[in-house]
Structure 1
Amino acid sequence: MFVGRSLKFRVLLAFGVAMILVWAVNAVTDIESFKNFMFDTTKRQLSSDANVLLTAARIKNGQLIMPRELPDEKFNQVESRVLGMIYNKEGELLWRSRSTLDEPLPYQPVYNEHENFFDLIEGDGGSYFVYDIDLVLKTGRESMPLIFVTIKPAQEYEQNLRYFKHEMLFWSLVRGGVMLLVLWLAMYWSLIPIKQLVARLKDIESGENDQLTGHYPLEIARLTNALNRLLSNEQRQRERYRDTMADLAHSLKTPLAVLQSTGHTLHMQRETITQEGLAELEETIDEQVQRMNQIVGYQLQRAVTRHRSLIRNQVSVVKSVERIRNTLCKVYRDKQVQADIQISEDCLFTGNEQDLMEVMGNLLENAWRLSLQKVRVSAHVVRDREAGSHDKRLELLIEDDGPGVPEDRRDVILQRGVRADSRTPGQGLGLAVVLDIIEHYDGTLTIDDSDLGGALFRISLAS
């Protein structure tokens, strides 16, 4: 269902369930607290009324004597809601207040000296609060065990309890409604940036915009920044594929023209062509086919290696370099190159392992091929001066004792888009691929002179 996929519905439902549970717990505790308060209040009242009876009672000639009028008027009024009775030890009624004349007596006491009793009991006429004092009343030298009982109907208590429950339910519903309304308004206000984000995404989908614009809260800004980077990468990737196809088509024009001319020559001279001429044409065809294969392979490799993933891994530099070194030592077994690797285990490359292998493979292959005897590879982490002292960069140095690179050629061999250089074997093709990968990691590649006598290739990457 649509409502099941709605974030607002889920939050409101979860909040509503939590609010009902909290309300149920609070209702139980509040009702119990109200009952305890009413019980304590009634007990104190009936205890005070029992003390009135106790104070007025006298013993004379073994008989209980009570005044006609008690100090507390509630016992003198027939319609009073407080009842007073006095019993002897055997439970026989000795005295009852005027307020009990029209009331049934729902309680039969049992004498238990020095103990008090208070509770809510059920009688024929309803519920009653009963307070019972059992003691020996002394007047002068005479004494008698008596039971003083005060009773109050619980109608008022039950009415107050019902009223309290109704009021609590009503105001709980009011509070719950207000809280849900406030929550809904807060969610509506909080989800405005998400609605704006959805609208911007629709604009991108329709082609009206190519980036997510606007200001967003911090929690969403990281998402929008990541989406913008993804959109930029996707846009750059489309442009690279388009440029690669254009470069490929342009690069194949010349070999195709040569093949077309060779085919035309072969067709026109098929009857008069000599064996030497035929061999020359075959060599030309093989050369152009090989050249086309080189161009297609390079352009496809260039398109693939330019792809930049948002997922980055921590790759050990020394392990990758050692794998490449072992391979090159087999390829250049007869050359006996001395490889000096100065890389610690904590030097890590943040990115795709295949990208690191491609970069180091091309540069190390050049170093092995052009060196006389020695190659040195080192890596270390340095502070990024431009980005701030808190950011670090990984520097990779590849040096050899070969002929080096003339200073006036360094910019040329690193220049992008120079397709004549990028098609040539050796440094041209390899360095073009290396430079593409490094630039997509926001890194730099520079060429200098090494103290070994040859070239020094310095790579700087964000760590």
Structure 2
Amino acid sequence: MRRQLSIRARIVVGAGVVLTVFLLLAGYALDRTFTDNIRSAHYQRLQSHVYLLLAAAELDAGGGLAMPAGLAEPRFSLPDSGLYANIANPGLKEEWQSLSTLGLDVPFLRQLEAGEWRFTELHVGGRTYLAAAYGVKWATGPRAMPLTFAVSEDEREFRREIGQFQRNLWVWLGGAAVVLLLAQTALLGWGLTPLGRVARELRRIEAGEQARVQGVYPVEIAALTDNLNGLIEHERARQMRYKDALGDLAHSLKTPLAVLRSALAEPATLAQTVTEQVGRMDHIVQYQLARAAASGSAQLAPPLAVVPVARRILDSLAKVYRERELAFELAADPHCVGRVDEGDLFEILGNLLDNAAKWAGSRVRLSLSNEGRALRIVIEDDGPGIADPSAVLQRGMRADERVPGQGIGLAVVADIVAAYGGDLDIGRSEQLGGAAIRLRLAK
């Protein structure tokens, strides 16, 4: 049989996938945010270099550029330093470039409108530059000269900072993912420990080393273990009932068989003896089958609506006892339920109501109610009552031989009630004056 992934494996795999996706998205967001911030910081530095050029620039009497031999930023004076400057004077078709541009084809922004700032990336010769430029109107004498101050920076420094951040970011995120997965696996193992204990106890039960689940478990599992214990006890009780029924059946049939065997020596009374003993054996067999078939407590069964079952039985009995004009009364909450097998409920109500109808003068009353988690059943009649309650609970015993019956109904009911962990009481009805049978089936 193909096995599915264990709960532990499912949770670990699912958590790993979710954590991986989360960290990837978080890393991507952090990387994009850091990249944008670093780019913004580089543009701000380029802007400050533009201001440096503005402070250092001068125009001579003819409007030509006059720049000092050195600038405050030393990288402008170092060839191929990565930082480059350009001042365009389109009026005189001249440009000034920093010494760092010697021998290089560095791109610059030119001819911007006065007061216009521009920040962008420029590409040339397979290299990328971050560029900033500012356009001004420079007044010199009676005229104003349009100038564009531009600074370009090799993107390698920018990429180096981004690369270092990305390496650190993914190393730390990967380490955090490993630590979180290990911690989650450890916590998961601790959290699933009770399930492992339950599984081990069930294996010991299967091996016959213990009779029931004995451990104390968290509330989420306690209901399961309680139901498992109930199911185990229910199954053992069922097996015991079958075993006892077979043993009792074999024991009970010994006497009728012995009587039949001895009757063979008396042909004159053989027919009568055979009839009596066959009837007795039939009663014994019916009783033992009914007792063995009792389902017992059904903790895992859904709640059963008991009123419809009661109405069906009362309607059937009303037809059976139509000639006696008996009044069958039902007093019950329409929402009354019980965790009881429907067949067992038919057996209980059918036997008790039929007995009540046999003895009743004119009225039979059935009351159904829920008391906490238990189902309470009361059956009353206006007959003579039961003089010896303990006797009628014994197999084959009847309160009056003149009333037809097999004498096993109440005994079967008593066995079923005991299987449900309930109790049965036989007394006298205060309202109707006859017998009152009160029983409770635990849920």
User: Same-fold call, TM > 0.5?
Assistant: yes
Q: Verify: 1:444 aligned to 2:420, yes or no.
A: no
In the alignment, which residue of structure 1 is the partner of 2:323?
334
Q: Give SS of 2:224's match.
A: helix
1:98-109 superposed matches below 5 A: 98-109=99-110
Q: Give SS of 2:343's match.
A: helix
Measured in 2, the distance between the counterparts of 1:396 and 1:91 equals 115
How many residues are matched?
438
Decide which moves more: 353-362 or 111-120. 111-120
Q: Show CA shifts across 1:348-369 (max 9, x none).
A: 3332222222211111111111
In the alignment, which residue of structure 1 is the partner of 2:5?
5
Q: Verify: 1:345 aligned to 2:334, yes or no.
A: yes
Q: Give SS of 2:33's match.
A: helix
Measured in 2, the distance between the counterparts of 1:91 and 1:396 equals 115
In the alignment, which residue of structure 2 is the partner of 1:430?
409
Measured in 1, the distance between the counterparts of 2:224 and 2:6 equals 20
In the alignment, which residue of structure 1 is the partner of 2:344?
355
TM-align CA RMSD: 2.6
Q: Is the CA contact (8 Å cut-off) linking 2:213 and 2:229 kept in structure 1?
A: yes
Q: Show CA shifts across 1:286-343 (max 9, x none).
A: 2212211221111011011144333334434433222222211221222111223333
Q: Give SS of 2:322's match.
A: coil
Q: Note closer, same or farther for the CA distance 1:91–1:214 as it changes in structure 2 (3 Å cut).
A: farther
What TM-score do the two structures reach when normalised by structure 2?
0.90
Q: Give SS of 1:421's match.
A: coil
Q: Is the CA contact (8 Å cut-off) linking 1:85 and 1:150 kept in structure 2?
A: yes
Paired amino acid for 2:441: L
Q: Note closer, same or farther for the CA distance 1:252–1:216 as it changes in structure 2 (3 Å cut).
A: same
Deviation at 1:45, TM superposition (A): 0.1
Q: Is the CA contact (8 Å cut-off) linking 1:413 and 1:431 kept in structure 2?
A: yes
Q: Give SS of 1:250's match.
A: helix
Deviation at 1:64, TM superposition (A): 2.4
**1:308 paired residue among 297, 317, 320:** 297
1:54-453 superposed matches below 5 A: 54-61=54-61, 62-78=63-79, 80-89=81-90, 92-124=93-125, 126-139=127-140, 141-263=142-264, 265=265, 277=268, 280-382=269-371, 391=372, 393-406=374-387, 409-414=388-393, 418-421=394-397, 426=405, 428-450=407-429, 451-453=431-433
Measured in 2, the distance between the counterparts of 1:23 and 1:3 equals 31
Q: Is the CA contact (8 Å cut-off) linking 1:121 and 1:130 kept in structure 2?
A: yes
Q: Is the CA contact (8 Å cut-off) linking 2:424 and 2:439 kept in structure 1?
A: yes
Q: Is the CA contact (8 Å cut-off) linking 2:117 and 2:134 kept in structure 1?
A: yes
Q: Note closer, same or farther for the CA distance 1:317–1:226 as it changes in structure 2 (3 Å cut).
A: closer
What TM-score do the two structures reach when normalised by structure 1?
0.86
Paired amino acid for 1:370: W
Paired amino acid for 2:157: E
Q: Is the CA contact (8 Å cut-off) linking 1:59 and 1:143 kept in structure 2?
A: no
Measured in 1, the distance between the counterparts of 2:290 and 2:40 equals 89
Q: Which blocks of at least 5 consecutive residues in structure 1 are unaligned?
A: 267-272, 383-390
**1:456 paired residue among 405, 418, 436:** 436
Measured in 2, the distance between the counterparts of 1:345 and 1:110 equals 93
Q: Give SS of 1:150's match.
A: strand
Deviation at 1:40, TM superposition (A): 0.7
Q: Note closer, same or farther for the CA distance 1:213–1:343 as it changes in structure 2 (3 Å cut).
A: closer
Measured in 2, the distance between the counterparts of 1:342 and 1:87 equals 107
Paired amino acid for 1:351: V
Q: Is the CA contact (8 Å cut-off) linking 1:128 and 1:152 kept in structure 2?
A: yes
Q: Verify: 1:30 aligned to 2:25, yes or no.
A: no
Q: Give SS of 2:107's match.
A: coil
Q: Note closer, same or farther for the CA distance 1:420–1:366 as it changes in structure 2 (3 Å cut).
A: closer
Q: Is the CA contact (8 Å cut-off) linking 1:75 and 1:83 kept in structure 2?
A: yes
